[in-house]
Structure 1
Amino acid sequence: MNAPPPPSGAERTDGSSVRIGALVPLTRPGWGEAGRHLLAGLELAVSDVNDSGGIAGRPLELLVRDTAADPRRAAAAVDEWARLGVAAVAGEYHSVVARAAAARADVLGLPFLCSSAVLDALTEQPTEWVARLAPAQSHGWRIYADFLLGAGHRRIAVAAEPSVYWASGARVLRDHLAPRGGTAIELDMRALAPAAVCDELVGQRATALLLLVGHPEPAVSIVRSVRRDQRLSGIMVGAPAGQPEFAGWAASLGGDGAAIPFLRYLPERLSPLGARVGAALRERLAEAPSFVAFEGYDTVAVLADVLRAHGADRARTAASWPRVAVEGTRGRIRFSRTPGIGVWQWAWAPVQVVDRDPADPDRFRILRRHPV
């Protein structure tokens, strides 16, 4: 397995540390920018935990593995960590990868706190071993659908690539829009070049286009094509999965990447803890931290609290999910059972619909928030 050196020092094998396995996409075809932010949050939290005495006097240590968006890599990492005796698994951004990791963690009896993946069906069956911080896709994407309806959009084109994640998102949108007078018009990006999408949008009389596709391609090419087509000057382009959150989006598209609403999981105002962590993350990343970085920090904060209270016993960690009450960077974190979701779920992290300001693409505008 191609894994980077552990960022928190050499991996110990003498039992002196409490170890957490960290799944992050750092190389292509994984979304490396998201992985870098996730890892920064995980690392910062580990540093803070160790500065405050570690876990009953033992240092907390990350064992990092690059998933490269490959479910098989993630499953192999979980197998490896089960043999190495890690206390828990953390992280991952890509839903299909997190799903593979959750399946192995469930089989092996290894606690897994998923940081960022939102797919509702993170496991096929209910499990006691897996918990999640990120809002379920159905929750966040319904909020996004309500934003579209509130903005007056009824004919909404969805440019989608084939994947479980994109198909699930399209279904959430379609099922939420239809009873409320909206229509989701699906465009199969296996059959359409970016330029051909424009003709479809005109022909379908769509007022909004949602990008359920990979970044940078074909997302960047689709946005450029739409922005340059005078027939589509009034169309709204959206990206519910959050592609515009990262600096790479603005670097690739400049002003064309502004005014594209997306979902992110931050409160309108950070708590004092969140503000302190945000400043430290900005210094570590040399750029503004994304919500994914805060998810990484909160993941370790929760695990550290559980490990301090119950020790590194895996079964006791898994049994503690319903008793978690941790002040995170984005609110108080508690886990519960949510209908239709088989893992312990934080219900819910704050949700925003935001975009980049056309007058200043480095500034974000909050268009809708939940809770209000």
Structure 2
Amino acid sequence: MPTPQSSSSAEPADTSPVRVGALAPLSRPGWVEAGRHLLAGLELAAAEVNAAGGIGGRPLDLLVRDTAADPRRAVAAVEELAGLGVAAVVGEYHSVVARAAAGRADALGLPFLCSSAVLDALTEEPSDWVARLSPPQSRGWRVYADALLAAGHRRVAVAAQPSVYWAAGLRILRDHLAPHGATVVELDADALTPAALCDEVAGHGATVLLLLTGFPEPAVPLVRAVRSDSRLAEVLIGAPAGQPELPSWARSLGGDGAGVPFLRYLPERFGPLGERVATALREQLATAPSFVAFEGYDTIAVLAEVLRTHGTDRARIAASWPRVAVEGTRGTVRFARTPGIGVWQWAGAPVQVVDRDPADPERFRILHATGPTD
């Protein structure tokens, strides 16, 4: 007699991909190098997730969209990705672009895990849908101001371009430096030529010039002008937004780009996971990975654990942010509500003030570092 077939009604396992949208500036006028590092971290972590069995046996599929530093393009990408059924959106480097993406994701009920943007006001109103790995600008730039004060700087000149991000940074610096007797003078980096800006710095007797500008223009010509001006030989150049971190800074400026303090978000020492990922990222990028690459990796590490534990339903993902505890390359990621920040925030992200060593511009020097309680 033929063997009867099983009457089990078990459903076949779901092996369809878990789709996740990924935003990064991959073309001009975006900072393409930062976007490339961010994407490298995202892709490395996704490949490791899939090599380990994916999300409950389902592969993790990154749908990458180039924002080109355009907020409107980011909004359109979020809308497209939502329609494609992604479980969440991750990434983005530029703060103003990330703010536009976060606002649209919040309106659509789509979880957004922001990797690198630091603008405090990432959403207009408090959001349960948005979480962020990078420290808020108000924390990082206060650390930077503390480093200036510790080095004895009380007369600060700022070369700034119009931007919500630069304006917020300038406000943070002023508010933090003023109680310590420091003065901050703002110079228009668009209206003044590099030579005229040097005249202004010399006239104000500033001991430090901070670049709150785009890269390579006008940052590169400004650095060259200051370095070649004998009146400003003792003036410190600073770039709090982190432009000197990436190799293009060193390629563009050589020795002139050394000794320029900037913010980066790495621990003083990596643990085993960080060391392993650093090696893999270096091979992938064919250069030293920036902190942006580690932010990308940690983003997928966090989201993958959320998806494994809580599933792919968007509302359940968003509800899980306060319960996250995931070991990343830079520490254990936990999200909480932070005063003045409307999104779920990792309060423990490390913050360093670093520069390139004038004796060896390929080597970084840690000038000041903080932990999660500083």
Into which bin does the TM-score normalised by the smaller protein fall?
Answer: over 0.9
- 1:289-311 CA distance string (max 9 Å, x none): 00000000000000000000011
Give the Cα–Cα distance (whole angstroms) in 2 for the partners of residues 115 and 321 of structure 1. Answer: 14
- 1:98-143 CA distance string (max 9 Å, x none): 0000000000000000000000000000000000000000000000
Which residue in 1 is equivalent to 2:283?
283
Give the Cα–Cα distance (whole angstroms) in 1 for the partners of residues 133 and 181 of structure 2. Answer: 32
Give the Cα–Cα distance (whole angstroms) in 1 for the partners of residues 296 and 261 of structure 2. Answer: 23
- 1:223-269 CA distance string (max 9 Å, x none): 00000000000000000000000000000000000000000000000
Which residue in 2 is equivalent to 1:33?
33
Aligned to 2:294, the other structure's residue is in SS state helix
Give the Cα–Cα distance (whole angstroms) in 2 for the partners of residues 180 and 132 of structure 1. Answer: 31
Which residue in 2 is equivalent to 1:66?
66
Which residue in 2 is equivalent to 1:368?
368
Give the Cα–Cα distance (whole angstroms) in 2 for the partners of residues 244 and 187 of structure 1. Answer: 21
Please tell me the residue identity of whatever aligns with 1:149. Answer: L
Is 1:83 equivalent to 2:107 in the alignment? no
- 1:313-356 CA distance string (max 9 Å, x none): 00000000000000000000000000111000000200000000
Pairwise CA distance, 1:94: 0.1
Give the Cα–Cα distance (whole angstroms) in 1 for the partners of residues 75 and 208 of structure 2. Answer: 38
Give the Cα–Cα distance (whole angstroms) in 2 for the partners of residues 99 and 197 of structure 1. Answer: 31
Please tell me the residue identity of whatever aligns with 2:25. Answer: P
Aligned to 2:90, the other structure's residue is in SS state strand
Which residue in 2 is equivalent to 1:271?
271
Give the Cα–Cα distance (whole angstroms) in 1 for the partners of residues 194 and 87 of structure 2. Answer: 46
Which residue in 1 is equivalent to 2:102?
102
Unaligned 5+ residue runs, structure 1? 1-13
Pairwise CA distance, 1:193: 1.1
Is 1:309 equivalent to 2:275 in the alignment? no
Which residue in 1 is equivalent to 2:336?
336
Pairwise CA distance, 1:172: 0.3
Give the Cα–Cα distance (whole angstroms) in 2 for the partners of residues 232 and 351 of structure 1. Answer: 29
Aligned to 2:159, the other structure's residue is in SS state strand
Unaligned 5+ residue runs, structure 2? 1-13
Give the Cα–Cα distance (whole angstroms) in 2 for the partners of residues 202 and 348 of structure 1. Answer: 39
Which residue in 2 is equivalent to 1:296?
296
- 1:51-77 CA distance string (max 9 Å, x none): 111000000010000000000111001
Which residue in 1 is equivalent to 2:8?
none
Please tell me the residue identity of whatever aligns with 1:296. Answer: G
Contact 2:15 2:59 in 1 (8 A): no
**Count of matched residue positions in the alignment of Structure 1 and Structure 2:** 359
Contact 2:15 2:57 in 1 (8 A): no
Please tell me the residue identity of whatever aligns with 1:110. Answer: L
Contact 2:130 2:344 in 1 (8 A): yes
Please tell me the residue identity of whatever aligns with 2:300. Answer: V
Which residue in 2 is equivalent to 1:17?
17
Percent identity (aligned) = 76
Aligned to 2:149, the other structure's residue is in SS state helix
Pairwise CA distance, 1:16: 1.1
Pairwise CA distance, 1:151: 0.2
Which residue in 2 is equivalent to 1:47?
47
Aligned to 2:73, the other structure's residue is in SS state helix
Please tell me the residue identity of whatever aligns with 1:260. Answer: V
Give the Cα–Cα distance (whole angstroms) in 1 for the partners of residues 124 and 284 of structure 2. Answer: 37
- Alignment of structure 1 residues 135-214 onto 2, 5 Å: 135-214=135-214
Which residue in 2 is equivalent to 1:117?
117
Please tell me the residue identity of whatever aligns with 1:77. Answer: A
Pairwise CA distance, 1:190: 2.5
- Name the CA shift for 1:42/1:124 in 2 (closer, same or farther; >3 Å): same
Give the Cα–Cα distance (whole angstroms) in 2 for the partners of residues 183 and 296 of structure 1. Answer: 37
Give the Cα–Cα distance (whole angstroms) in 2 for the partners of residues 326 and 348 of structure 1. Answer: 12
Question: Which stretches of structure 1, 4 residues or longer, exceed 6 Å deviation after superposition?
Answer: none
Which residue in 2 is equivalent to 1:3?
none
Give the Cα–Cα distance (whole angstroms) in 2 for the partners of residues 338 and 214 of structure 1. Answer: 29
Please tell me the residue identity of whatever aligns with 1:37. Answer: H
Aligned to 1:159, the other structure's residue is in SS state strand
Please tell me the residue identity of whatever aligns with 2:93. Answer: Y
- 1:132-159 CA distance string (max 9 Å, x none): 0000000000000000000000000010
Give the Cα–Cα distance (whole angstroms) in 2 for the partners of residues 19 and 192 of structure 1. Answer: 47
Aligned to 2:263, the other structure's residue is in SS state strand
Aligned to 1:69, the other structure's residue is in SS state coil
- 1:66-102 CA distance string (max 9 Å, x none): 0000001110011001111000000000000000000
Aligned-pair Cα RMSD in Å: 0.9
Give the Cα–Cα distance (whole angstroms) in 2 for the partners of residues 60 and 116 of structure 1. Answer: 21
Which residue in 2 is equivalent to 1:6?
none
Give the Cα–Cα distance (whole angstroms) in 1 for the partners of residues 181 and 214 of structure 2. Answer: 29
Pairwise CA distance, 1:181: 1.1
Aligned to 1:206, the other structure's residue is in SS state coil
Pairwise CA distance, 1:187: 0.6
Which residue in 1 is equivalent to 2:253?
253
Which residue in 1 is equivalent to 2:7?
none
Pairwise CA distance, 1:15: 7.6
Aligned to 1:273, the other structure's residue is in SS state helix
Give the Cα–Cα distance (whole angstroms) in 1 for the partners of residues 183 and 18 of structure 2. Answer: 51
Per the normalisation by structure 2, the TM-score is 0.95
Give the Cα–Cα distance (whole angstroms) in 1 for the partners of residues 194 and 243 of structure 2. Answer: 17
